[in-house]
Chains A and B, each alone.
Chain A
Amino acid sequence: MSQFSILLHYEWRHFRAARGLVLLTSLLLVVGLYGIYYGTTEVARQRRHLAELPALTRHSEAELRRKFAGPADAGEIGYYHYTFARHQPSPWASLALGQRDVNPYYLKLRLLGLQGQLYASENVNPTKVLSGNFDLAFVLVYLFPLLIIALCFNMLSHERELGILPLLLAQPLRPGVLVAAKLTFRGGLVLGLALGLSAVGLAWAGVPLDGRVALWLALVGLYCLFWLGVALVVAAWQRSSAVNAVALLGAWLLLLVLVPSLLQVCVAAAHPVPQGLALTMQQREAIHGGWDRPKTATMTRFFARYPQYRDTATIRERFAWRWYYAFQYLGDQSVAPLAAAYTQGQQQRHALVAHLGWLSPALSAQTSLNALAGTDLPAHLAFQRSATRYHDALRAFYYPFLFKKIPFTHADYARLPTHAFASPADLGTAARGLWQLLGGVGAVYLLGWALLRGRAVAPR
């Protein structure tokens, strides 16, 4: 048996004897399984709710059929009929729920102005979302570093403090081999656990077997390697166990708590998002002003955008639905620059955070996992764009009825456009995160290696 495998063997026996560590490792295994269970049930719940929505639309249609027994004015139907833009989660969402609990995963749409409907929020328990989600990504990003710290904080110092290290080093054994064996054993344990849990999670969530699986595993593996590297640096620094524990926990606090929260302050200062409040206020002014403006002025502005309806009858009556929907649409148009600025501001913030991921591997790991699962802000913005297109399709469907005065019959309900949207994976962000992690891993191992080379392992 080679020296290395003997060392590995004894590390294993040592680990088995340390009841606390075995307990901690099994606890993490259980907690990881709970995270997978929680994530999958949460996404299943969202899927169930999404599946219930068409029934609500059908129910309202049945009501409208009763209310308007014969052919009806499409304006009435457009006012009362509602339908849903649905944001279907990808199977990956079960593993990293991201912002899916904060951002609404469906939008109720009517033919009215879109901007008044696009930012509606879903019922959420704020106290619960404040505590956050206990999904697999949380276990991997938050808790695995803690396991690594618990396993590694006394990697060399323990033996030194017990006085075993001089005995060990008196053997024909290079200190580098000793450190490598210790790190390999711990790395094998942690990586086995992290990748094993990921495999269970991937299978449980039923993700399709494509390149994303490899990307996920690579991200998780690199992230664990990074923390093992930090432990190596601290071990090579050769202080007492207590100092090591403090240093490692300090690194955890720094990278998982302080850097993200300070970054948040900086990002908010660098890109102040034009608030949505101004947007809704202006949209209301524009739409309600529509009632007071002369009808011909409204219709001229509308026809400039929809010349195909220019030849329709002039509105002389006090109220006409086509005039009503024209000023609803013009209200949306009048706030279009504000809406674009609002979305762009959010996008810029997100991009800046993704760029600054190298400041904290935890941040880049979390951002990448969310990006992979399509649960972060870009996915939500994509959903909003898709909902906007759906609203456009609804308008395009109703306008001929309204302007050409075609009666809306019962058969027309079935012809209403429907909507489908599935979370896209943001592979660019995930790949960038991978490079950032790779850089971090390279940096810590280089530093650890340099420290070990620069200063011999002191037996005492």
Chain B
Amino acid sequence: MLTSIAQKEFISTLRDRRFVGLSLLVLGLLLAATLVGRRGYAALQQERAAAQHTVNEQFAHQPGRHPHRVAHYGSFAFRPKSGLSFLDVGIDSFTGAAVYLEAHQQNSVNFSPAQQAGSLIRFGELTVAFVLQALVPLLIIFLCFSAFTEERETGTLRLLLSQGATMRQIAWGKIRGYSQAVALVVGPALGLAAALLFAAGSPARGLDLGLRLGLFGLGYAAYFFVVIVGAVVVSARQQHARSALVLLLGCWMLGCVILPKITANLGAHFYPATTKAQLDAEVHAETQRGIDGHNPHDAHVAAITAALLRKYHVASEKELPVSVNGIVMAEGEAYSSRVYQAHFAALNRTYARQNALADWAGWLNPYQAIRPLSMGLVGSDFAHYVHFQQAAEAYRYQLVQRLNGLQTRMGYGDKERRLGAATWQNIAPFAYQAPPVGWALPALLGPALALLAWVIGLSWLGLKLVERTPL
């Protein structure tokens, strides 16, 4: 019975001209979004890779310089786009692409695409994720709002029930039928995405990307299932198709447009973050208490020099085998880095608090559960961004400290001398490795559980409601 109901729904859906038109539209958008996304991804990726290459070449081919000059010359870290980000750009349009790595300070990641666009970008971007998260649910709503109301209005529901089918069976049959129809729309686009990915991708990252894509598909399957069940339940509980449609559309607006914005705004309202100017001033005030590598009159410098003289059993700085300046620079860098790290960590904690409200809203709103899940799996969420920031900082720190080490070994009077051009070629350039899926998963447990709770809760409670619906 269940199978034949499912089959009937599937076939009649395919015969419905309106549905076919809408699905072709959605499928067309999905395919277009995949191709456009892929193109944009390739362009950005190439641009950033070329920039990184140029910067690395520039670094390696410096003339003979003093190491501390090189530390100020520094380098850049360009954030590579994650392999799957053409499916979901996530926050990437609002985060910068490049960070300048130099001695003594940690710079902001600048040049986000949003700064280069006008307010047009605030209308949202046409990405696969957007189509899947917002438009496919609309398609489902149009598909399912009359699932029960039509049967009731035409009197076929009574006939079905008199055949011995229960309301629960009918509901499950419809859910299965509609799920097949939706899969028919979404499947090809995901297939294309997979084909594009594995046609171009390197085999080394293949497994990781495949796993991410698989979970991505699974997440959306759960999301669509929730929407289908919800729509069928509403259709069963409402007397008229019209009221079912209005109610469902109202839920869509609330879930996909209003709630995400309101929760994000409230979060930022409750936990204000410090401004860059304030943060810089605080960092400056704290580093003042530490050691200033550029100030020879710093009290700490005298203490360090005295300790070095004792250690090497010599009477004056001139006889030391190491450069006091280099050691002082290294100490100063270690101190200021710690201060910066503490402040950035505090800032990121504030952001996490701001976002917590929106994350919790995932338990109330499936859209807000799939969104972080999708971004996280694709590698375009805040956690992946922070991962890059930290990798860039780790590189910056080791680069500067290595240069400080070179300076130290130059011995007394280093400021008058330079190191040969060959020195810089031995320093490894910045190479960013995006974290594997296993790293991303623990943070995604919350939204995944919320989605799962929706799947189970709605299947159980919703179907119970359907069962109890009076004819």
A186 to B280, CA, bound (A): 54
Q: Which residues on B sit within 8 Å (CB–CB) of A392?
A: none
Q: Which residues on B sit within 8 Å (CB–CB) of A285?
A: 58
Contact pick for B142, options A119, A161, A246, CB 8 Å: A246
Segment with Cβ contacts to B, from A100-108, A219-227, A415-423: A100-108
A18 to B22, CA, bound (A): 31
**Quick check: A128 and B268 within 8 Å, CB to CB?**
yes
Residue in B closest to A161 when the chains form the complex, CB atoms? B242
Q: Number of residues in A with C-beta < 8 Å to the partner?
A: 87
> Provided the pairs A38-B265, A121-B110, A127-B351 are in contact, do residues A377 and B118 lie with their beta carbons within 8 angstroms?
yes
Tell me if B257 counts as interface (CB < 8 A to partner A).
yes
Segment with Cβ contacts to A, from B95-103, B187-195, B426-434, B457-465: B95-103
Pairs across A and B, CB under 8 Å, 19 listed? A38-B269, A84-B277, A99-B122, A121-B115, A122-B108, A123-B273, A128-B268, A129-B94, A131-B260, A150-B250, A242-B245, A245-B245, A246-B142, A258-B126, A264-B125, A277-B48, A288-B72, A353-B118, A353-B120
Tell me if A130 counts as interface (CB < 8 A to partner B).
yes
Contact pick for A121, options B108, B119, B246, B273, CB 8 Å: B108
Q: Which residues on A sit within 8 Å (CB–CB) of B164?
A: none
Q: Which residues on B sit within 8 Å (CB–CB) of A281?
A: 51, 54-55, 58, 76
Tell me if A5 counts as interface (CB < 8 A to partner B).
no
Q: Which residues on A sit within 8 Å (CB–CB) of B18?
A: 246
A130 to B108, CA, bound (A): 18
A123 to B243, CA, bound (A): 45
Contact pick for A127, options B74, B121, B382, CB 8 Å: B382
Could you list 5 further interchain pairs (A-B, Cβ under 8 angstroms) beyond the known A84-B277, A129-B114? A99-B115, A123-B276, A126-B91, A146-B253, A260-B123
Q: Which residues on B sit within 8 Å (CB–CB) of A262?
A: 126
Residue in A closest to B52 when the chains form the complex, CB atoms? A277
**Quick check: A120 and B120 within 8 Å, CB to CB?**
no
A116 to B407, CA, bound (A): 26
Q: Number of residues in B with C-beta < 8 Å to the partner?
A: 91
**Quick check: A102 and B112 within 8 Å, CB to CB?**
yes
Residue in B closest to A142 when the chains form the complex, CB atoms? B257
Contact pick for B281, options A59, A127, A260, A366, CB 8 Å: A59
A24 to B126, CA, bound (A): 29
Tell me if A125 counts as interface (CB < 8 A to partner B).
yes
**Quick check: B120 and A260 within 8 Å, CB to CB?**
yes
A275 to B241, CA, bound (A): 52
Which of B48, B242, B262 neighbours the largest number of chain A CB atoms within 10 Å of its CB?
Answer: B242
Interface of chain A residues 363 through 399 with chain B (CB within 8 A):
363, 366-367, 370, 375-377
**Quick check: A128 and B265 within 8 Å, CB to CB?**
yes
A392: min CB distance to chain B, Å: 22
**Quick check: B47 and A143 within 8 Å, CB to CB?**
no
**Quick check: B241 and A267 within 8 Å, CB to CB?**
no
**Quick check: A56 and B278 within 8 Å, CB to CB?**
yes
A308: min CB distance to chain B, Å: 30
Q: Which residues on A sit within 8 Å (CB–CB) of B235?
A: none
Q: Which residues on A sit within 8 Å (CB–CB) of B146?
A: 242
Tell me if A273 counts as interface (CB < 8 A to partner B).
yes
Tell me if A154 counts as interface (CB < 8 A to partner B).
yes
Contact pick for B264, options A127, A143, A353, CB 8 Å: A127
Q: Which residues on B sit within 8 Å (CB–CB) of A291?
A: 65, 69
Tell me if B124 counts as interface (CB < 8 A to partner A).
yes
Contact pick for B94, options A49, A59, A102, CB 8 Å: A102
B62: min CB distance to chain A, Å: 9
Q: Which residues on A sit within 8 Å (CB–CB) of B108?
A: 120-123
> Provided the pairs A102-B112, A261-B126 are in contact, do residues A123 and B347 lie with their beta carbons within 8 angstroms?
yes
Q: Which residues on A sit within 8 Å (CB–CB) of B110?
A: 119-121, 276, 280
> Provided the pairs A138-B261, A242-B241, A350-B118 are in contact, do residues A106 and B124 lie with their beta carbons within 8 angstroms?
no
Tell me if A450 counts as interface (CB < 8 A to partner B).
no
B208: min CB distance to chain A, Å: 24
Q: Kindly supply a per-residue 1/0 record for chain B positions 51-72, scoring 1 wherever the CB is within 8 Å of any chain A CB and 0 otherwise.
A: 1001100100001010001001
> Provided the pairs A102-B114, A258-B126, A262-B126 are in contact, do residues A123 and B274 lie with their beta carbons within 8 angstroms?
yes
**Quick check: B63 and A292 within 8 Å, CB to CB?**
yes
Tell me if A443 counts as interface (CB < 8 A to partner B).
no
Q: Which residues on B sit within 8 Å (CB–CB) of A119?
A: 110-111, 115
Q: Which residues on B sit within 8 Å (CB–CB) of A129?
A: 94, 114
**Quick check: A128 and B241 within 8 Å, CB to CB?**
no
> Provided the pairs A131-B264, A275-B111 are in contact, do residues A363 and B123 lie with their beta carbons within 8 angstroms?
yes
**Quick check: B119 and A366 within 8 Å, CB to CB?**
yes
**Quick check: A277 and B51 within 8 Å, CB to CB?**
yes
**Quick check: A276 and B116 within 8 Å, CB to CB?**
yes
Q: Which residues on A sit within 8 Å (CB–CB) of B241?
A: 242
